[in-house]
């Protein structure tokens, strides 16, 4: 991979080193944070490196509902191969990001020799560790989209788990990441073949002989690894993720984790107090650590 120099060849395709094609998928709606970030990015690019705004520069947009996201992402990546760009910058239209995000992603990917690089993004998932909320509400938890591959002993269940304690402000390799703000090299688009975001089903991945189907972004990452290429996330490149009145970012995640720690502390304290009362009722002295 090269950030500058003469036109080079990558598996039969010529590209302009360091050049970028943005690609988006939306359902006919853009969050304000995305629209403003998009404008900032293009203005920044116009007065700096011209990775995007250049002769032959363009961007791709597909309109898709939830069920068509995988196909739309695959179509964007296929269209990317018909350009002279070295990199495809995929970003969702509910994301906010800095004006120099593309420059920083390219520089980090080249410096760390990875073909797929994600920015620090957060998702919102149903919290299955807590009791259901009353009145048909849902308990949701923020989680970073850095994943490691794991297998559950005994059941054989396997899949991707979020890395809760990621390296802050640094690059790290991962087994998978999301596609909300991600940079993909042309060599990857060639290697993963057609329809690379189509969900993959592992017939035994759910454990105890049951199947598991992976999301389109995790399925893409599985194909990247199968092609012998590396995936990373640079957590110094931050984003925000609009979720209907709240924004998911590193500060929101840190606040959640602190709240969970405090809640767990209260839960442990309550158990200790109950045990101490049992000893007291029996006329005994509670052991050290329970008093």
What's the pTM value of the predicted model, to 2 decimals? 0.85
Q: Does residue 129 register a pLDDT over 50? A: yes
Which has the higher per-residue pLDDT, 179 or 8? 179
Whether the CB-CB separation of 96 and 36 falls below 8 Å is answered with yes
Could you report how far apart the first and last alpha carbons of the chain are, in Å? 62
What are 102-122's pLDDT values in tens digits? 999 999 999 999 999 999 999
Query: For residue 249, what are the contacts with CB-CB under 8 A and spacing of at least 6?
Result: 122, 238, 239, 240, 241
Q: What is the pLDDT of residue 263?
A: 67
Domain ranges of the chain: 8-248, 249-291
- Across-strand partners of 91? 181
Query: For residue 10, what are the contacts with CB-CB under 8 A and spacing of at least 6?
Result: 86, 186, 187, 190
Interval 258-267 mean pLDDT: 69
Q: For the chain, give the longest Cα–Cα distance.
A: 86
User: Any idea what DSSP says for residue 134?
Assistant: S
Interval 282-289 mean pLDDT: 59
What are 200-249's pLDDT values in tens digits? 999 999 999 999 999 999 999 999 999 999 999 999 999 999 998 899 99
Q: CATH for 8-248? A: 3.90.550.40
């Amino acid at each position: 991979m090269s950030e500058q120099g003469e036109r080079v060849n990558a598996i039969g395709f010529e590209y302009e080193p360091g050049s970028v094609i943005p690609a988006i998928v939306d359902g006919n709606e853009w969050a304000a944070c995305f629209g403003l970030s998009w404008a900032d990015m293009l203005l920044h690019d116009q007065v700096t490196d011209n990775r995007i705004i250049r002769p032959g520069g363009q961007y791709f947009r597909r309109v898709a509902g939830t069920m068509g996201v995988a196909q739309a992402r695959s179509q964007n990546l296929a269209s990317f191969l018909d350009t002279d760009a070295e990199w495809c910058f995929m970003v969702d239209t509910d994301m906010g990001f800095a004006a120099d995000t593309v420059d920083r992603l390219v520089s980090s990917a080249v410096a760390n020799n990875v073909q797929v690089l994600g920015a620090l993004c957060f998702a919102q998932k149903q919290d299955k560790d807590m009791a259901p909320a009353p009145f048909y509400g849902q308990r949701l938890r923020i989680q970073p989209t850095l994943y490691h591959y794991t297998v559950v002993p005994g059941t054989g269940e396997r899949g991707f788990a979020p890395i809760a304690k990621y390296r802050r402000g640094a690059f790290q390799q991962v087994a998978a990441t999301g596609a909300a703000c991600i940079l993909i090299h042309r060599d990857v688009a060639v290697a993963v073949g057609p329809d690379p975001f189509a969900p993959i089903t592992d017939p035994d991945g759910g454990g105890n002989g049951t199947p598991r189907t992976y999301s389109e972004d995790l399925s893409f990452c599985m194909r990247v690894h199968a092609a012998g290429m590396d995936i990373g996330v640079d957590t110094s490149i931050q984003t925000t993720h609009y979720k209907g009145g709240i924004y998911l970012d590193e500060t929101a995640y840190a606040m959640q984790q602190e709240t969970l720690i405090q809640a767990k502390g209260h839960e442990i304290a309550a158990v200790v107090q109950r045990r101490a009362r049992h000893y007291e009722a029996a006329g005994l002295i509670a052991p050290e650590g329970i008093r």
